[in-house]
């Protein structure tokens, strides 16, 4: 009897040792990086740049996998349910963790504060509302005046329902006291194309999708979530006298909750190195993306703070507070 007990203890000890050693050589095979947007989107391009550099550092392939749908909720949900072995990671925009999850709770199968292990925030880019260069409204005040004369007839395109662009339209409508129509597209690029074709009055997308068109004068930025060194003339909402600024866009890495410390000890410093690499910054600059590395604890704080902002604004979606005089 005693021998049998000792045998069981020995077997259990070996199993634990095997489990502990399973990550000793991590990573020893390809890592899948889920990017929950369509191929060619600015987030996708940034994710592929990061994947290339991570693969070089980790000495294993890091394979981007596009998993669009429900404004990023489907891809993020897939990672939340993935094996906790560090071989399936998420590179996502903030909308799938904050605005979209709150706007569409029925479509979200996860809690970002519970179901993911944060690995690091990497970059930011402003959200911008742009109009055509030949539009009859040259700034936000003129767009708001036009919208008040034509309620419900000013259409602003976005990258889809539940995106930061969707929330941008809600904020601008509430702050200016106007009825704006959000037109969801399957990605930011189609929204920009629709604006260029004259099918909508404006678009609310990340700066990277607009940079070339803004430089050429084909499009004009009328408000942004933050000042851009590249386009300093585009004001923020608070610059214009409104109480609520727009939400910007940030990108970050996550693993499923429950990955081992051995995995995070490898991934966190690798992601920090990639996210602070000047060569990576140069590659991302063409997307209007700026490096702003934040460690896991700061990333968690960012999610909590942004969720609070979204929830507070949605409590009074029709309130036009702080309208510029």
Helices 278-285 and 42-58, axial angle in degrees (round to 10): 160
Per residue of the chain (325 residues), what is the pLDDT tens digit? 443 443 344 333 433 433 444 456 999 999 999 999 888 888 899 999 999 999 999 999 999 999 988 878 899 999 999 999 999 999 999 999 998 888 887 778 899 999 999 999 999 999 999 999 999 999 999 999 999 999 999 999 998 888 899 989 999 999 999 999 999 998 888 999 999 999 999 999 999 889 899 999 999 999 999 998 889 999 999 999 999 899 999 999 999 999 999 999 999 999 999 999 999 999 988 777 889 999 999 999 999 999 998 888 777 654 333 333 3
Cα–Cα distance, 172 to 188 (Å, whole number): 18
The angle subtended at Cα 151 by Cα 246 and Cα 175, nearest 5°, is 25
Same fold, 29-124+249-311 and 127-247: yes
Question: Torsions phi, psi of 38, nearest 5?
Answer: -70, 150
Architecture in CATH for domain 127-247: 3-Layer(aba) Sandwich (3.40)
Query: Which CATH code of 3.90.1150.10, 3.40.190.150, 2.60.40.1120, 3.90.870.10 fits the domain covering 29-124+249-311?
Result: 3.40.190.150
- List the chain domain ranges: 29-124+249-311, 127-247
pTM comes to: 0.82
């Amino acid at each position: 009897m005693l021998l049998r007990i000792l045998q069981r203890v020995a077997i259990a000890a070996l199993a634990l040792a095997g489990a502990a050693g399973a990550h000793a050589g991590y990573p020893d095979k390809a890592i899948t990086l889920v990017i929950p947007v369509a191929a060619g989107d600015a987030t996708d391009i940034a994710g592929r740049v990061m994947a290339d550099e991570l693969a070089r550092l980790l000495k294993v392939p890091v394979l981007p996998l596009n998993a669009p749908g429900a404004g990023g909720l489907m891809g993020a949900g897939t990672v939340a349910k993935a094996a906790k072995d560090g071989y399936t990671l998420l590179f996502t925009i903030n909308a799938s963790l904050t605005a979209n999850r709150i706007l569409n709770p029925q479509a979200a199968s996860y809690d970002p504060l519970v179901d993911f292990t944060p690995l690091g925030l990497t970059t930011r880019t402003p959200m911008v509302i742009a109009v055509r260069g030949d539009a009859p409204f040259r700034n936000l005040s003129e767009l708001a005046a036009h919208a008040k004369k034509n309620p419900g007839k000013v259409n602003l395109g976005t990258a889809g329902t539940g995106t930061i662009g969707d929330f941008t339209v809600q904020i601008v409508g509430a702050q200016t006291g106007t009825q704006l129509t959000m037109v969801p597209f399957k990605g930011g690029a189609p929204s920009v194309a629709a604006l260029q074709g004259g099918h909508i009055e404006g678009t609310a997308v990340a700066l990277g999708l607009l940079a070339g068109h803004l430089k050429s004068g084909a499009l004009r930025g009328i408000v942004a979530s933050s000042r851009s060194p590249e386009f300093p003339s585009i004001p923020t909402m608070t610059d214009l006298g409104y109480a609520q600024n727009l939400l910007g866009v940030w990108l970050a890495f996550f693993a499923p909750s429950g990955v081992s410390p051995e995995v995070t000890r490898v991934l966190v410093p690798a992601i920090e190195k990639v996210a602070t690499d000047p060569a990576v910054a140069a590659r991302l600059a063409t997307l209007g993306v700026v490096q702003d590395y934040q460690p896991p604890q700061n990333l968690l704080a960012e999610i909590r703070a942004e969720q609070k902002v979204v929830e507070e604004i949605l409590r009074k979606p029709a309130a036009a507070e702080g309208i510029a005089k």
